[in-house]
Structure 1
Amino acid sequence: MTQITVSGLGVERAPAERATVVVQTQHRASHPEEAIRVASHAHAAIAEQARAFVDGGQAERWHADRVWVSHHEQWVGDGKRRDLVFDAAASVHVTFVDFAALGTWIGSVATQPVHQVGGIEWSLSDETRHALGARARAEAIADAQRKAADFAAAAGLSTPRVAAIREGGVDEPAMFKAQPMAATMRAGAGADTAIALEGSDIEVTSEVRVDFQA
């Protein structure tokens, strides 16, 4: 018997179904009480909006589990006494299913200097990700079988049989790759700051290493 070892690759794609955005609220002041008070008030408003999106069905979930309070001396010029300043910050993570609502919210939040939008992470629902993973794994096995058959035929061997299957190179069944998002500013006059967002397709990839005997 001759052993043939080949790799197999399967790739499935689907449009992004979830978009997780991080909004950080931050304020700097010369007194810690002021920094915390302003940041806390603005953060509470963002958290309330996030809760309303979940209650209204535009978002799937939200959480606010990050807070920072720090201080440092701020350089104001050579020969001058450095000022001690205090920073207070907190963040909110919201996972949206309604991308139009997300774009409108980002446009509104970004107009307020106390808030910063930390980017968007695109993803799939668990159901879609699992379904695509199953199809990608089947494709990876089929790809390996085609390669093994080609090698066996070229070498004048019998039809190869599967002897062992290993997922990927580091025992990972699938790699999930989020493609860059597409984001364009909606044209409009006046105070229309909404942003039109659309996530690119997300790839679900499965790699296998298969041993055959022929």
Structure 2
Amino acid sequence: MVEITVCGQALERASAERATVTVQSRWSAPSAEAAMRAVAEAHERLVADARSHETSGAAESWHADRVSISHHQEWVGEGQPRTSVYTAAAAVTVRFRDFEELGSWIGSIGLHETHEVGGIEWSLSDETERALGKTARTRAIADAVERAGDYAEAAGLGAPVVAGIQEPGTTAPGPPVPKARMATMAMSAADAAPAVSLEAGELSVRAAVEVRFVADPLAHAI
């Protein structure tokens, strides 16, 4: 009896279904009160927008759980006393379903100098990611069976039989199997309408599995 161990792999792709963006309100002023006041007003507008997007169904969820204020001394000129500068910031994160609505929102909030738009993280819905993961795992097993069959045939062995299955890294440390999330983003804004056109590429869900087989030598090969 001969043991054959192979690694089966599979990749499933689907277009992005969610886009998560973080918008930060930031302002600097000579006093903490002035900085916080400006940020609080800007942040309130963003929170109102986030609630509205969730209510309309354009967004799946949102949260506002980051706020900070810092202070530093700024150099003005030779022989001049340093001035105090206070910087306040707060952030809102929104997970959108509607990419067109997201583009319009980015275009509108970009007009306010207190707002800073972070990068967009593209993702799949939880349901789609689970479905693709299941399909990828099934195909990874099929890939392992095919690989083992090829090795057995080349070595003059009979049909291999599964003796063990494990995911890479479950018994010993090793390099992680990445679940790739790749997307492209195209942005353009018309002069009259400051909407941002967003188009996400495909995202990938990978699966890998180690399968151990056993196979007997063919009678004529003994």
Give, in angstroms, the shift of residue 180 of structure 1. Answer: 2.8
RMSD: 1.7
In structure 1, stretches of 5+ residues that fail to align are none
Give, in angstroms, the shift of residue 76 of structure 1. Answer: 2.8
Is 1:177 the equivalent of 2:197?
no
What TM-score, normalized by structure 2, do the two folds share?
A: 0.91
The secondary structure found in structure 1 opposite 2:73 is strand
Identity %: 48
Bigger Rg, structure 1 or 2: 2
Alignment of 1:89-108 (within 5 A): 89-108=89-108
The secondary structure found in structure 2 opposite 1:195 is coil
Give, in angstroms, the shift of residue 193 of structure 1. Answer: 1.1
Deviations 1:39-59 (A, max 9, x none): 011101100000000001111
Residues in 1 aligned to 2:176 and 2:142: alpha-carbon distance in whole angstroms? 15
Residues in 1 aligned to 2:76 and 2:208: alpha-carbon distance in whole angstroms? 56
Give, in angstroms, the shift of residue 80 of structure 1. Answer: 3.3
Residues in 1 aligned to 2:97 and 2:88: alpha-carbon distance in whole angstroms? 30
Give, in angstroms, the shift of residue 163 of structure 1. Answer: 1.0
Alignment of 1:65-214 (within 5 A): 65-169=65-169, 175-186=178-189, 188-190=190-192, 192-214=193-215
Higher strand share: 1
Q: Is the 8 A contact 1:67 1:89 kept in 2?
A: yes
Residues in 1 aligned to 2:78 and 2:211: alpha-carbon distance in whole angstroms? 67
Change (3 A) 1:79 1:213: farther
Give, in angstroms, the shift of residue 208 of structure 1. Answer: 0.9
Deviations 1:86-107 (A, max 9, x none): 1110000000000000001001
The secondary structure found in structure 2 opposite 1:159 is coil
2:63 equivalent in structure 1: 63
Which deviates the most, 171-180 or 113-122?
A: 171-180
The secondary structure found in structure 1 opposite 2:113 is coil
What TM-score, normalized by structure 1, do the two folds share?
A: 0.94
